[in-house]
Structure 1
């Protein structure tokens, strides 16, 4: 796995159902290294700390391969990495093979896989189409939240090196499917 884009966003006010809402989902690629802190990425907007940021959700990564699945469904979008709100776009991130607790060295940082990302209406706002939320739920393409074990800079081109495998734990896709079942009830 290799970083092919690092993405940051600024807070943005949107109108959703006639209410003003602040969001950080509008992320775009940056050309400089980014610093992964213990609870967030430096200079990245986190507007809803109930669902984003913090120890278990400090960094969000998403696979570039998943873009190929969604692009034909939304051909009129101006596609750029960061569209899914991810800090790190990875060439081949596979939620079905990454287990909770898997630990990686990437750049100067050490990251531990913790959680899946559950979509909300803000993804629909970013895509200007609420259909993306259901389509996202109907895949295992949820992305991975990481805990930062060791802070540090990462940049485009940095590779993930597995330090510890936790195959006894569920995969990120397993967590996501379980969460989806709860939501469907």
Structure 2
């Protein structure tokens, strides 16, 4: 499976509100850029508690969702307004699974967890309800860790080269976050996927134990 990368984006941390610093305001690059195991060159992550680290090197958001948000908000939404590093056409949280491996340029990337909409996104859109609107829609985007470092450039194609055998979709994990938090079968599936970010697996493991102990 191949996906068209519409834009590769980077940005520096800036103050966007009193006490709120973020690198959500990114811009598209025009030349090749190096991706290491911790960051894409020229990019920054302000909130290292919730962003960045080896499990969250690159954030992807689907290009097709921009039309949806323009209709919902009744105004133009410029790329990359969701702070994503990769704006990709035709990709979906329903179809992509935790642990799936992709090639992009010289790099090899692995899906690690969904992006969780937060107050920074709400502030970016000047809408206190926007983070919840995004999580309710399921159009969250997701993160990659880097298995192989290298250069990427505009025009590169994102290629799925290995599907994870458990096929736990990004949408499945979103359900455990937002809509189906006590689904025992889904929790059991999630904690088996070692490619899911460790802190998230531990959170789901604890939740499962609490549910089972309460019965």
TM over 0.5: yes
Take 2:153 and 2:57, find their aligned partners in 1: how far apart are those partners? 16
TM-fit CA distance, 1:130 = 2.0
> Whose RCO is larger (CA < 8 A, sep 6+)?
1
TM-score where L is the length of structure 1: 0.91
Larger-gyration structure (1/2): 2
How far apart in 2 are the matches of 1:68 and 1:153?
A: 30
Deviations 1:83-137 (A, max 9, x none): 0010000011211111111101111100001100010010011112223212101
Q: In structure 1, the residue corresponding to 2:64 is in which secondary structure? A: helix
Q: Which runs of 4+ in 1 moved over 4 A?
A: none
> CA RMSD for the aligned pairs?
1.7
What is residue 42 of structure 2 aligned with on the other side? 43
Match of 1:83 among 81, 97, 118: 81
In structure 2, runs of 5+ residues without a counterpart are 182-215
Partners of 1:58 and 1:145 within 8 A in 2: yes
The 5 Å alignment of 1:1-185 reads 1-15=3-17, 19-77=18-76, 79-181=77-179
More strand by share: 1
Contact kept in structure 1, 2:29 and 2:154, CA below 8 Å = no
Aligned residues: 180
